[in-house]
Structure 1
Amino acid sequence: MALSEYEQKMLEQLEEQLRDEDPKLAESFQPVRQVSLKRLVLGLFIVVAGLGILVAAVAFSMSWVGIIGFVVMLGGALYIFSGPIGVSSGPKVSAGAQASSTKESFMARQQEMWERRRDQDGR
């Protein structure tokens, strides 16, 4: 079921308010990292090269070369997953004054809606 425009705006405002109040919590809700294709291919190539070195070390009974092969494989895996995050969650608020005015206007609108509802109910 799709959200109405009003509901989408409210959700965006709540997300922005969450980012302002608790950035650590908001960061935990960010999408999972996406690995770029270039980084994935190069990293897999490094892992395969390390595996080749490891197999060669076993074939020739040279344990120190096997250790090097394992380290190369580990480096390839780290290269794949240590890249920058490929997904951005949207524009970040740059100025503190802009963030506080957004929060105030949001809260003012919420207060106004609350009072309007209370008046309509006859209380």
Structure 2
Amino acid sequence: MPLSEYEQRVLEQMERQLTSDDPRLANTLTQRGRRPFGRYALAGTGAVVGLLVLVLGAANSTAWLGVIGFVVMFAAVAFAFAKPRSANARRGPQGTVQPDGAIKPAAASRHHKPGLMARLEERWDRRRGESGR
């Protein structure tokens, strides 16, 4: 069932509000990342090898071998779920969304970014100012 014009306008307005409030979240939600199959195959192989070493350590009553097997299994699973690093990927927000929906690229700045608490306080002050209190 298609959306009515009103529903489409409201949805577009909500999308613009989200991207203006938190551009980093909007970028994260719109990215379509795929991990290569080889990464999962390598992680699966590592997990199986780690499990075999763990079982071998338990069967021979050698605790250190079991610990090594567990560490190998854990590292393989962590590798499978870790975000792959890209050499050319930019960190942080890509830009800001203007009220008309256009994206203004972020200027490359060398100054120190404000901390988490400063950003939260600034957002709080901005929201309190918008509500008229």
TM-score band (shorter)? Answer: 0.5 to 0.7
3-state SS of 2:66 partner:
helix
Show structure 1 runs of 5+ residues with no match.
85-92, 105-123
1:6 Cα deviation from its structure 2 partner:
7.5
The alpha-carbon distance between structure 1 residues 39 and 13, as it changes in their structure 2 partners (threshold 3 A), is farther
Tell me how far 1:9 sits from its aligned partner.
6.1
After superposition, the Cα gap between the structure-2 partners of 1:36 and 1:6, relative to the gap in structure 1 and judged at 3 Å, is: farther
Match of 1:60 in 2: 60
2:16–2:99 CA contact under 8 A, matched in 1:
no
* Structure of larger gyration radius: 1
CA pair 95-44 structure 1, distance change in 2 beyond 3 A: closer
Separation in 2, partners of 1:71, 1:20:
43
TM-score with structure 1 setting the length: 0.55
More strand by share: 2
Task: Tell me the number of residue pairs that the alignment of Structure 1 and Structure 2 aligns.
Answer: 95
User: Aligned-pair RMSD on alpha carbons?
Assistant: 3.8
Q: Unaligned stretches of 5+ in structure 2?
A: 85-92, 103-133
Q: Which has the higher helix share?
A: 1
| Residue 12 (structure 1) shift | 3.6
Offset at 1:100? Answer: 2.5
**Contact kept? 2:23, 2:95, Cα under 8 Å:** no
Cross-structure match for 1:18 = 18
Post-superposition offset of 1:29 = 6.2
Residue 87 of structure 2 corresponds to which residue in structure 1?
none
Task: State yes or no: 1:100 paired with 2:98.
Answer: yes
1:37-76, CA deviations, whole angstroms, 9 ceiling, x for partnerless residues? 3222211111101001111112222110110100000001
% same residue = 39
Corresponding residue for 1:113? none
TM-score for the superposition, normalised by structure 2? 0.52
Q: 1:79 to 1:20 in 2, by over 3 A?
A: same
CA distance in structure 2 between the aligned counterparts of 1:103 and 1:27, rounded to whole angstroms: 14
